[in-house]
Amino acid sequence: MLKLYYFPGTCALASHIALEEAGAGYEAVRVDFKQNEQRSAAYLAINPKGRVPALATEHGILTETPAILAYVAQRFPAARLAPADPFAFARAQSFNSYLCSTVHVAHAHKGRGARWSDDPAVIEGMKQKVTRNMADCFAYIEADLIAGPWVMGEDYGICDAYLFTIARWLDGDGVDVAAYPKVQAHMQRMAARAAVARVLALHQG
């Protein structure tokens, strides 16, 4: 059985939603960040990065959200969570890579500035840029990346789980999601899905 390591409020939500939508047999294991469990010897033996998500499979451990989402989609093809066409799949990977490498990093400057600098003034400057940077990222997503009604068009998939996860951070980053009608409507469609509701119930607190 697959085993997903997660903590509420993190990008692990996307992988959790994908597993639930795929109908996968899996166990969800909460890594308690409040107790610094991600830095424990036991968890570092699973994921030396000390972060979530991590997905334990019979072949080994996978980390990084785009990789886990692609794995879930390909392991459970009947769920149709990713395009079968190579070019369309590459476009989905491009979208997820943008969320991972650019949008998530822009958000992380708010609470994780010490990853990039030891200077308190520099860290504070990073925090001050988060709202603007996240707003700019979502303006681009709104204008150019959501085909509608789902990210890739008519078919729901792994990109939708990831976008929903990142968009849930906007309020805390000082960005009003109402400024992005497509994103806001997407969030509402996602929240109405039964699988998403089941997963969100586990990500409270």
DSSP state of 82: S
Q: Which positions of the chain have pLDDT values less than 70? A: 205
Nearest alpha-carbon partner for 145 in 153, 136, 156: 153
SS3 3: strand
How many CA atoms within 13 Å lie on the side-chain side of 163?
A: 34
Model confidence pLDDT, tens digit, residues 109-147:
998 888 899 999 989 999 999 999 999 999 999 999 999
pLDDT of 205: 64
Q: Is 23 exposed, middle or buried (CB count within 10 Å of its CB: 0-12, 13-18, 19+)?
A: exposed
pLDDT for position 54: 98
Buried b (16+ CB within 10 A) or exposed e, 32-63: ebeeeebeeeebeebbeebbbbbbbeeeeebb
C-alpha distance from residue 138 to each of 58, 75, 101, 161 (Å): 37, 30, 14, 16
The torsion of the CA quartet 184, 187, 193, 195, rounded to 10 degrees, works out to 180
pLDDT number for residue 204: 83
Global pTM reads 0.96
CA distance 135 to 12: 22
Domain positions in the chain = 2-79+198-202, 86-193
Q: Residue 5 and residue 64: Cα distance in Å, rounded?
A: 12
Q: Which fold has domain 2-79+198-202?
A: Glutaredoxin (3.40.30)
Tokens of 193: 């899905």
State whether CATH 1.20.1050.10 applies to domain 86-193. Answer: yes
